[in-house]
Chain A
Amino acid sequence: MTFGSTRAQAVAFVAMVALIVVAPGLLYPVFLMKVLCFGLFAGAFNLLIGFVGLLSLGHAAYFGMGSYVAAYVAKYWGFSAELAILAGGLVGGLLGLAFGWLAIRRQGIYFAMITLALSQMVYFFCLQAPFTGGEDGIQQVPRAPLFGLLSLQDDMTLYWVVAAIFLAGFLLLHRIVHSPFGQVLKAIRENEPRAISLGYRVDDYKLLAFVLSAFLAGIAGGTKSQVFGIATLTDVHWSMSGEVVLMTLLGGIGTIFGPIVGALVFGALETYLAQFGDWVTVTQGAIFILCVIAFRRGIVGEAGGWLRLAL
């Protein structure tokens, strides 16, 4: 295990930034923005499963609420883009504070089931609450200008903003993981009783990690609703929680670059398979089974193992 940023990671980071800059010349920008949103979402999720060992099966709640809140304040309160997305992140974080506080009372399997049940509660709330528009969702959300000045109507302008948000989130996650705080998180993952016996208040660390993760998930959701101009029940449904698990598992749990790679592959699969209806679900399930049985380190984990590098 290497601590801090390695040279391989620095090289990979430069390569990733270069790809982000070049990609819109090759691929449809809206697709890329979706991948970046999902990449940030999966990165936020990975902070919990990869670095604290907590499997949250309810991350759609924070992502979806972020999406709804950002859409609502942009459409009805006239917030500018950055404030709308930030509002989405803050609500996601607050929800994470409440749910995390409840869920960390139990460990392992129970933790996963509690987060799933709580997120289902949010789903039913969104189905019934007046502000979410029920089955219709919040439609025709305007792309609010950045800082109230820069119009984001053009896809390419928005793309650079989304890329900046993704990179900021990515660097924040990297910083968290490699901070002393992050080291304690890994200690909890490896051996919780020992971390307790060393005098760490494990629950406080878990809760803070949970809130940070939920905050970034909310940011990702808010960004997504700004990109697509719509916030719907899909964003809060448990299948979204499943998808973020899949992206992270596919890319590589506990790796820095895994979530974005997983999001890219997942996004491509979803777009390619969209015409085949429910075969998307079948394929997702098959990938889950394949990853768990034969491929537990994911794409980046396997590549890193092969190259003997921590990515």
Chain B
Amino acid sequence: MVTIFGKPLLLLYGQLTLGLINGAFYALLSLGLAVIFGLLNVINFAHGALFMLGAFVTWGLLNYLGIGYWAALVIAPIVVGLFGVVLEKLLIQRLHGLDHLYGLLLTFGCALVIEGLMRNQFGSSGVPYAIPHALQGPLNLGFMVLPLYRAWVVVAAATMCLLTWLLIEKTKLGALLRAATENGPLVQAFGVNVPRMVTLTYGAGVGLAAFAGVLAAPMNSVNPNMGADLIVVVFATVVIGGMGSILGSIITGFGLGIIEGLTKVYYPEGSATVVFVVMVIVLLVRPAGLFGRAA
């Protein structure tokens, strides 16, 4: 058996793919957080809860309406995104001009309400969601065999990250978005409807979280706590990467996933905390974050 530093190579590959998958979720979620924070100056604590809603909408589409996975991949982000738009219009918009800590507290409250309601409805253990037929079975890469669905998650998440990056960095809409992030009132003076842009950006960021939720639905069970556990790690990701750079968020997300996977192989006890340890080290060495600008 081939080993690396005393560990079987196949174990290493297996954990690395799992790490990549976790990394994909960190990247998608921290990307959404960064986009929202850039324009709204709000750290969206409800991001984990909305990710969970994405998974539940996927489940609901199948079980109530008979709509399958592929359609859900498009519909669920739109549905949850619209919910986000309502949330922004109804609540978050009222905090304009206040200390941004209030935005954090408000969205924290939203997360508690959403998660509590879902736990009441579905219990804590959650509901199962089958892997779609086309993505079942193994994929043989020559040097290793991995479940096809895992490969799909990594590819889909990476593609989505890339598309978001292209949208923000290379299109006219993205340019407007970046301009509004730098100076909202000035962009508004040029005739752009900035408040609407803010609302839609929140919807889009939330949609990204829901997209991640759809990808996550067949991974384990769809359960009301799936977002709460994730969001704290995503916050650490954001602290490590800094929210100034889109590409930075993506790289940090995937990188941390891989580090976590490696830790599971070499020091399993530390796998739950390794991201936080990395955060501490980054804070000591580069307090502004890897891709952040000094405040």
Contact = CB atoms under 8 A, between A and B. Distances in A.
Nearest to A288: B109
B120 interface: yes
Nearest to A113: B235
A108 B101 contact: yes
A284 B276 CA distance: 28
Interface string B91-112: 1001100101110111011111
Given A102-B283, A278-B120, A285 B236 contact: no
A62 to B, nearest CB: 16
A177 interface: no
B177 to A, nearest CB: 20
Given A121-B276, A278-B119, A105 B111 contact: no
Contacts of A286: 109, 113
Contacts of A102: 280, 283-284
Chain B, interface residues (CB within 8 Å), range: 35 or more
B84 to A, nearest CB: 15
A105 B287 contact: yes
Contact of B111 (A57, A108, A128, A285): A285
A107 B279 CA distance: 15
A175 B273 CA distance: 38
B115 interface: yes
Given A102-B283, A116-B235, A278-B120, A121 B105 contact: no
B104 A281 contact: no
Contacts of A238: 232
A181 interface: no
Contacts of A116: 232, 235
Interface string A251-279: 00000000000000000000000000111
Interface stretch (A71-79, A143-151, A289-297): A289-297
Interface in A202-243: 238, 242
Contacts of A108: 100-101
B120 A279 contact: yes
The majority secondary structure among interface residues of chain B is helix
Given A120-B232, A249-B105, A289 B287 contact: no
A282 interface: yes
Interface residues of A, number: 42
A86 interface: no
Contacts of A283: 116
A195 to B, nearest CB: 16
Contacts of A114: 239, 279, 283
Interface of B: 37, 43, 91, 94-95, 98, 100-102, 104-106, 108-117, 119-120, 232-233, 235-236, 238-239, 269, 272-273, 275-277, 279-280, 283-284, 287-288, 295
26 contacts: A55-B104, A102-B280, A102-B283, A106-B283, A106-B295, A108-B101, A109-B37, A112-B43, A113-B236, A116-B232, A117-B239, A118-B276, A118-B280, A120-B276, A124-B272, A278-B120, A279-B120, A280-B116, A285-B114, A287-B109, A288-B108, A289-B106, A289-B110, A289-B113, A291-B105, A296-B98
